[in-house]
Structure 1
């Protein structure tokens, strides 16, 4: 808690779609206990969105303070100085060098070809700014809780390998559990509020099952129980998954970011709660993939299904991470990519990176960005000619 304000000071870095949505959710909270500060590379942009947040809250009958700051995460020293001045209790990093599903803008056939690489090879785009932020927090001597929104399932363990892991991530497993809860209730003919679902799963599972309604060959663990008694219930997972492309199909893409921002709000609420709240989140304390967790102001702990050890849960997510394009994360920050995934990147983009060090994330992200931009422009020209 911030001594000056008597409230929790939440710094949101990055004002893309997700950062904007989270801002409005936080200032719209009834009796909001949050003092929000928003930051972007452009101080003027941050100021405009801070004022938008204040005015939106005012239209809802709530007078609240929203601060603004200019932060360029690539400049670690200046970021550290700014962080020392703001003294946030929680830092939500919503900044990345490329949106996770940016390739959706490609022509459909091209998107499908490039999507075969999965998300793993794009890790530098999501890791680079998180790495710089965690360096800045350390340099500032900040005790702020770090919440990562950018590919946390893989960014968390990558940074953990050099002792710089954010405390927790958002989205991914946290996005699919609500749908799986409704699916379990549908299969059991019960009220969704009476069903509790606990899931251990990597980003790839969340992305794949949401899109295809099946998990053939994809590792995961699911436990369904009575929310009150804890009695284990046994709906068939494959039937649950099928509902996600049927009656429980949801809007995805950028328009589906409302679900991700709700996951972020849930995590922030839990981190400021005196009582433990059970939820799902990726990369708690830098672990690979997503887990059921119990979170409060006192800390973050795993809340695994009965009989499942932490070692077994991590193994499930490591196996799934390989399918997502990352073979292994080694101590000292060495990440090895799956050959099949990188071969797609090499063939289509001319980008070949069999392995990387965390410290090289920023230059690799710039190289990958340049190659992707060239590729996307070629595809756009070819699409125009084809018409």
Structure 2
């Protein structure tokens, strides 16, 4: 039986990120009831057993189950959700991880990366759309925490009333480094430094790689012991490509997993913990929030309105390759970034209707597979 103090959390998708999230979840009693869901139920079961035994070695006890789940079958997924009745769903599945293109030779990756993440949206939106339809049809009222390009997936699905509750990663991944960098510049204890950052995925992707904000709009508020503090943004951002540079790629998934667990634990415990999340309530981009049982409440810095914060993220979204999202959930991609995809992959897609996402995802997977095969050794 699900109890108010210990909700049942379902992890959908058994990739590297979900595996790391699972391990971290079991370190907290409030998040120790978990059901793993994936297309391969046997792999999910074995993954669950590994986490269970690891937790036992550390003196932690957990309740872990596993179920088979094929997101492409909406009716069957809805039936499974209605039977299992998770309180919170962590969506870790995607048709192609953002990490895949990082395996290309670096000069090739650098060229393709100029397309930004926006044009890859069908890979992340397709399964989220199917999941959210199943959640709706299940009648469970489960809250969904999305890891797959939430900055854009959330606002697209919000247009049709199917936005996940909140996202993880992206803006949350850059805040710890910025906090340490600000503490260094201000000569202040890091525990006394508090940041509130409004920024879309592009910003959190670009700054650690290049040490500046590029074309990304953002809003950053810094306080020390509650008092406003002035920080040179140029010097602050430069540290992330220097003294505060971290491992990325698959190693960097640990940071993303920790951001997910902060949100999941905050919801499970109804803690009100401060965090940064993408797409709270389907808004575009990332925001400072407080995490409650039902999701995230905006915690914007004084003087910054919701409307202004949304405009900042919509501006930054264009730097990420998404021109706009129409009221009917049609997504229009920017000309420059679309041209990169067309030139390198032969993938010519300037806009996507929500219902056509599976087609474009299949087309993109085929085109990318042909492209990547040229560099296999």
TM-score with structure 2 length normalisation?
Answer: 0.97
Contact 2:10 2:36 in 1 (8 A): yes
Q: What is the correspondence of 1:5-20 to structure 2 with a 5 Å cutoff? A: 7-20=6-19
Is 1:343 paired with 2:318?
Answer: no
Is 1:365 paired with 2:361?
Answer: yes
Query: Number of aligned pairs?
Result: 377
Aligned partner of 1:307 in structure 2 is 303
Contact 2:91 2:146 in 1 (8 A): yes
Aligned partner of 2:56 in structure 1 is 58
How far apart are residue 83 of structure 1 and its match? 0.6
How far apart are residue 299 of structure 1 and its match? 4.5
Q: What is the correspondence of 1:252-271 to structure 2 with a 5 Å cutoff? A: 252-271=248-267
How far apart are residue 282 of structure 1 and its match? 0.3
Aligned partner of 1:90 in structure 2 is 88
Contact 2:30 2:269 in 1 (8 A): no
Task: Output the CA distance in 2 between the equivalents of 1:17 and 1:265.
Answer: 14
Greater shift, 371-380 or 173-182, is seen at: 371-380
How far apart are residue 55 of structure 1 and its match? 1.0
How far apart are residue 62 of structure 1 and its match? 2.0
Q: Deviations over 1:53-112 (max 9, x none)?
A: 111111112222100010011110110011111100000000001111211111122111
Task: Output the CA distance in 2 between the equivalents of 1:326 and 1:106.
Answer: 24
Is 1:215 paired with 2:213?
Answer: yes
How far apart are residue 298 of structure 1 and its match? 5.0
Q: Deviations over 1:87-139 (max 9, x none)?
A: 00000000001111211111122111111111000000000100000000001
Distance change >3 Å, CA 72–CA 144, structure 1 → 2:
same
How far apart are residue 324 of structure 1 and its match? 0.4
Aligned partner of 1:293 in structure 2 is 289
Choose from 189, 193, 196 the match for 2:194. Answer: 196
Q: Deviations over 1:209-256 (max 9, x none)?
A: 0111111432110000124xx210001111111111111111111111
Q: Deviations over 1:305-354 (max 9, x none)?
A: 11011111000100110010000011111110111111111111111111
Task: Output the CA distance in 1 between the equivalents of 2:24 and 2:44.
Answer: 17
Aligned partner of 1:182 in structure 2 is 180
Contact 1:333 1:359 in 2 (8 A): no
Question: Where do 5+ consecutive residues of structure 1 fail to align?
Answer: none
How far apart are residue 272 of structure 1 and its match? 2.0
TM-score with structure 1 length normalisation?
Answer: 0.95
RMSD: 1.3
Task: Output the CA distance in 2 between the equivalents of 1:358 and 1:217.
Answer: 27
Choose from 99, 104, 108 the match for 1:110. Answer: 108
Task: Output the CA distance in 2 between the equivalents of 1:174 and 1:59.
Answer: 30
Helix, strand or coil for the counterpart of 1:104? helix
Aligned partner of 1:356 in structure 2 is 352
Choose from 120, 125, 140 the match for 2:138. Answer: 140
Helix, strand or coil for the counterpart of 1:291? strand
Task: Output the CA distance in 1 between the equivalents of 2:331 and 2:205.
Answer: 22
